[in-house]
Amino acid sequence: MTQRSTDTPSIQRLELALARITAAGDEGARIFTRVYANSARDAANASDRRRGAGKAVGPLDGRIVAIKDLFDVAGEATTAGSALLRDAAPAVKDAVVVSRLRAAGAVIIGKTNMTEFAFSGVGINPHYGTPGNALDISRIPGGSSSGAGVSVARCMAEIAIGSDTGGSVRIPSALNGLVGFKPTQARVTREGAFPLSFILDTLGPLCHSVADAAATDSVLAGITPQALPQRDVRGLRLGVPRGLLFSQAQDEVLGAVEQALAQLAGAGAQVRDETLDDLLGEPFRLQERGTLVAAEAAWIHRDWVNSRPEEYDPIVLGRIRRGQTLDAATYVGIQQARAALLPALDARLTQLDALVLPTVPLLAPRIADVQAEEVFLRTNALLLRNPSVFNFFDLPALTLPLPRGNGLAVGLMLVGRRGQDRELLALGAAVERQLGSH
């Protein structure tokens, strides 16, 4: 299901996806919190009629798309992976990105499970169950867009839409062997998406190819989809930020990344090490007393954490409450420092086309091994470390699956220059072709 077959009707592909969800039994219910079988059939049939009449409305027409359970769908509660919002008032209208998907002819198959309120990169959910990794059901799916990643990797959807505040699109993509794209924040409206952080939330696709990521990004951004410009690996200026973001990495991850870097260099890319820790380490230094995400989550949840604390995942509740301890002066100070850091990193990247590094330094650990809170928090911090840096710096970032045998997945992250989302996707397509990761 990596590419739409023009001779396979959308309704046939939809029925196959629905059958996979049903066949997965309880696991299917952990991947999807809602399945829209009837409305999806209507949309698929309508797409097939358009295609038959030569009136397809774009590259997503008839594609099978899953949406994360934090997007509003008119007439139903948006639970955002929580028990607390099970009985919330139904949404009055679709989230803007959901409306754009429908207008583009996408067949929305269902809502996917997620970490409660999107506040973890591990993917555990005590309320709706935890979907197992698509490559090994005993391992974590990655979060917070957990069901999104698993749904695409298990071919229950062709494309999924997630949110990414500190890596929540890229982490599950990396751990499930997918392409995942985080745009610059202003590119895609978040209207109708339940927030985690007002200044860091972004919305993007999880899918099987960069071409699908680019087409989906255009629809989400409200831009007319166009073919990506052709780029070649030869001559690409790729910086490797060795140091902090390569530390604590497992040998299997480093080995796969080094092999990819060698292959790119062999194909004519200019691959060079960069010393950037003085900037890339600043998000962690600045947020030692508390993070921007936690502080904003504390404001969003200010009423519920006091009136209904027992309904939260205790680990998520603890992280939100830590955000309550960040004083206003420190919050403003972090924002001011961030405003100065963004152009500083921009200046250091002017002679590069992209940074290249591991998306996450770990292979997916076993679900059973991260149950203790201390282990969970340590694992979560390590999973979020590399992706979250580029949310802080608001740079577009793309993860590509590296070739593997029968083992677990490793992701290679490409980070573009500010505002160069389409260029990054074009470079990513060239790297994808070279590495054979698609």
Q: pLDDT digits over 332-380, tens only?
A: 999 999 999 999 999 999 999 999 999 999 999 999 999 999 999 999 9
Q: Which of 10, 47, 68, 197 is catalytic?
A: 68
Average pLDDT over every residue of 156-168: 98
Q: pLDDT digits over 220-268, tens only?
A: 999 999 999 999 999 999 999 999 999 999 999 999 999 999 999 999 9
* Residue 437 pLDDT: 60
- The CA distance from 378 to 277, in Å, is 21
Q: Is pLDDT at 438 greater than 70 in this prediction?
A: no
Average pLDDT over every residue of 268-272: 98
Average pLDDT over every residue of 307-328: 96
CATH topology (fold) of 1-280+353-438: Amidase signature (AS) enzymes (3.90.1300)
Q: Is pLDDT at 404 greater than 60 in this prediction?
A: yes
**Structure confidence at residue 273 as a pLDDT band (50, 70, 90):** very high
* Residue 79 pLDDT: 98
**Structure confidence at residue 2 as a pLDDT band (50, 70, 90):** very low
Q: Is pLDDT at 5 greater than 80 in this prediction?
A: no
* Residue 354 pLDDT: 98
Q: Which of 10, 82, 120, 144 is catalytic?
A: 144
- The CA distance from 254 to 51, in Å, is 45
Q: pLDDT digits over 35-92, tens only?
A: 999 999 999 999 999 999 999 999 999 999 999 999 999 999 999 999 999 999 999 9
* Residue 351 pLDDT: 97
Q: Is pLDDT at 4 greater than 60 in this prediction?
A: no
* Residue 7 pLDDT: 74
Mean pLDDT over each residue of the chain, to the nearest integer: 96
Q: pLDDT digits over 172-207, tens only?
A: 999 999 999 999 999 999 999 999 999 999 999 999
**Structure confidence at residue 320 as a pLDDT band (50, 70, 90):** very high
Of all residues in the chain, the percent with pLDDT exceeding 90 is 97
Query: Residue 266: CA atoms inside 13 Å, Cβ hemisphere, count?
Result: 8
Q: pLDDT digits over 82-137, tens only?
A: 999 999 999 999 999 999 999 999 999 999 999 999 999 999 999 999 999 999 99
* Residue 172 pLDDT: 98
**Residue 168 is among the residues annotated as catalytic for this protein:** yes
Q: Is pLDDT at 145 greater than 80 in this prediction?
A: yes
The pTM of this model reads: 0.97
Q: Which of 168, 173, 209, 437 is catalytic?
A: 168
